[in-house]
Structure 1
Amino acid sequence: MTTVKDKLKERIKELTCLYEVTSIIANSDFDQIETSLEAIVYCLKNAWQFDEVTQVHLSLGDYTIQTEGFRDSMTMMDSNIKVFNKISGIIKVGYPEDRYFYADFLEEEKDLLNNVTIAIGNLLERKQIKESEAKVKRQMERTDRLHILGEITAGIAHELNTPLANILGFTELLKERIDDSGAVRDLDKIVENAIFSREIVKKLMFFACEMPQEMQPVELNEMIESTLKLLTPSLRTKNIKLTKKFGSDDIRLRADKVQFTQVLFNLVMNAIYYSPVKGTVGVSIIEKGKKIQICISDEGDGIDPKIEDKIFEPFFTTKPLGEGSGLGLSVVHGIISSHKGTIQHKPNKPKGTVFVLDFPKL
């Protein structure tokens, strides 16, 4: 028979556990959640009536923590951990099945377990809120930087356009007046590099949104087919297999044809560049509700998680020096945003990257 003294002792254990769990959560480091969860598990073990044989198991996302003697066959009580009203984990408290029954658990212990799972859920909610706030802050800072850089870039692009045009014009005039073949070859190199520089200026102006848009309804399948034909020599050079999947014969959206072609060209060219010889590049278009989704995949090494937040930043590139200006994906991002679309990337299976573009239907 349970005495008043025994009942009081159990209430003290439960209150002590709740106090300790509250303290652990209050002082929890969001970067060391597993340490906090482990401490909570051992607090619970000591709070139950038969603490010498009590075992605890906690499962939450990537975390699985349990006391040494826990077994799935034990007599158990459990409580779900909810994060934003969604079940995300569970805590189980068990006694040896050969000596104890569910009736051996106290009602107060059930209340304690429920309170602890609520507290853990609140901790995880605060963690997610903090991470979301940090992400929004980074996006705002990035937007501010891009805005300032865009203004600077627009000015630089305008300043460079005139001297580049003069270099090209006067070089062509010199070629007409010089008979020396060696000098002509040198002048050809000047023209070639001036044209390359002019293309960079165009990209800068795209990035800075200085190129006027001519928005009109375009037939997407036809545009992609035309872009892929331009890239046939690059595909052939690396013996790349191209797979195409179009969800419909007539998919239309409102776009600037020149800018949209540049988006497709850049992304498919990147897919070819990063795919191995005899690899596969995939292009697909599907209609999803009120959106049109374009997916471009490669079989390269994928994007390192350490740099995935930087790939759309201007002048950032993983290509060797001289093979990329670091403006391609920045320009792509800017054009897609101006078309009220979004671009994301995800791992391809078994390896590589998939860029996913979403646009509103016409």
Structure 2
Amino acid sequence: MTVALEEPLGANPLTRPRLTWVGLAATALGAVAITALLFLVTPLSGYVAFVLIAAVLYVIALTVVSALVEGWRHAKDRLMMNVLLATVLFAVLALVGVLGYTVFRGLSRFDGTFLTHSMRSVAEADPDGGAYHAIIGTLEQVGIATAIAAPLGILVAVYLVEYSSGRLGRVVSFLVDVMTGLPSIVAGLFVLALWIVLLAQPYSGFAGSLALIVLMLPTVIRSTEEMLKLVPAALREASYALGIAKWITVVRVVLPTATAGIVTGVMLAISRVMGETAPVLLTVFGAQSINFNPFSDPQGSLPLFVFTEAGQPNNTALDRAWAGALTLILIVLLLNLIARTVARFARVK
């Protein structure tokens, strides 16, 4: 015996129509038209302002239209998606804009003469001269700082993760947190007061390296600490089960497993201090001639070179400043590529 349904099954009441590409295009055109009208009747001007206002109006209009057609649930989803896309595009466009403009302005003076000559006996209005002395100084200062800060930071991180369990570990961790937010000029003033004024040492590249060490340490420690925490505990336990001492386990198992992350953390620290100007200005003092000895006399530095040239009232000096900025970016990029290659071949198979 069959029972006939009195009413046919209807559509799902939760189903709502969805916006098509035609609706999206119409909303975008409406936002552009309203923006153009605002620019006609108000003093607003500029391409950047036009794009920003049109984008904001589009997001608002699309949210309202979606709420009317699709429902508030889909409207909230579209709103959050558009906000996320806008923030990503803004970050990417800012990065591309900075890099692109630096390359555009820096290539006009980035040549063999710039890379192989110093500013000794070169007038600021003279189109010649280069940043060879500053490149040598930056490489030596950052190299010395890395050679000291990287192993020291790794040892502190190993202590905090593998051995620390009392008050000393908490104190060290707190001091690392404090140093993370330390302004770079404070690090420079500290080295200036202690190394140069109190101990009567000369301005030198090594003094600048001491200031860079203070800035590098917290980054190396925190990044290495997080990488060591990500090493599975099963690897340590398996090593202990074989009767291997703890320090051998750390050296032969834990550190090789975290090598890629440790190298990345060291490169982040190098990238941070590579462009610091304030500590270098206070400790290295700067020089226009080549000085290969970082332990004696003032020495050049790329950030200081860019700062000095950018402050000169002529276009030739400004072109050298843009070329110096491009050189700094290329050095950081090259060091990152080298570090990635080393980490790739050094990781545990």
- Normalising by structure 2, we get a TM-score of 0.31
Higher normalized helix content (fraction of residues): 2
Whichever structure has more strand as a proportion of its residues is: 1
Q: Which has the higher contact order (CA 8 A, sep 6+)?
A: 2
Choose 1 or 2 for highest CA Rg: 1
TM (norm. structure 1) is 0.31
